[in-house]
Amino acid sequence: MNLQGKTALVTGGASGLGRATVETLHAAGANAVIVDLPHAPGDELVKNLDERAVFSPADVTNTEEVQAGITAAVEHFGGLHIAVNCAGVGWAARTLSKDGPHDLGVFSKVVEVNLIGTFNVIRLAAAQMASQEPAAGDEERGVIVNTASIAAFDGQIGQAAYSASKGGVVGMTLPIARDLARMKIRVCTIAPGTFDTPMLAALPQEHRDALAAAIPNPSRLGDPAEFGALVKHICENSFLNAETIRLDGALRMGPK
């Protein structure tokens, strides 16, 4: 897909991996619809970009709010061609601890946001993409990129809920790509490792250093811009489909 003039909707787009993705796609000539929670700094990011970016507050589990973001893409820019799912939550708790069994409500919430929220965006974005004809010179109607995690494969102690939610994203990538193939919509997933996001910025420096040292090569935290660069490549490479790509510097997480 040629990104020039296309429109990308990015959930979790106001910070971290989502923000880096917005900035990368926008710099490549795409319009950006930033979808994030109402208190997120979406308006601030729009000011740092230009008239090719809008902020549409939404909870990804809320169908009406997600649909409003898609409607904003159509009304402001004439259509929707790319959807990137970066919204997500994390939680750490053992299945059974000294405090008792894992809170079922917390487990459900993590799955609801990370897995069901991702699918909610996929199904609504795909419906809009399928209603459009491919742009001149393009052989596809749309590209969808999801965010899983290496925890889908190397889940650590306390990551039952998070790993389950991200494993679900990996598991549905192939069947959704098959579902949407006849509509000329591609679907890929990125499974990032440890990245230098605002969440990690709050950790003490010695903890950040230990996380960086655990990454074989390069021995540093991932730069969100590297995530954005992979999203861009997936969009531009029309033979990438139904794939989950680890982006982790060869990190394989131990039990804890």
Kindly tell me the sign of the dihedral angle through the C-alpha atoms of 135, 137, 142, 143: negative
* Token output for 76: 């402001």
Which residues neighbour 249 within 8 Å (Cβ) at sequence distance 6 or greater?
193, 215, 216, 217, 218, 219, 220, 222
HEC string for 89-119 = CCCCECCEECCEECCHHHHHHHHHHHHHHHH
Active site (annotated) includes residue 162: yes
Strands, E, within 13-127: which ranges?
A: 31-36, 53-57, 82-85, 96-97, 100-101
Percent helix, strand and coil across the chain, each rounded to 5?
A: 45, 20, 35
Q: Which residue has the tokens 């004439």?
A: 78
Residues 250 and 218 sit within 8 Å (Cβ to Cβ): no
Residue 188: enclosing H or E segment and its boundaries?
strand 185-192
Residues 245 and 190 sit within 8 Å (Cβ to Cβ): yes
Residues 234 and 209 sit within 8 Å (Cβ to Cβ): no
Peptide bond into 218 cis (omega under 30): yes
List 162, 165, 195, 232, catalytic entry: 162
- Count of residues for the chain? 256
Please list the active-site residues. Answer: 162
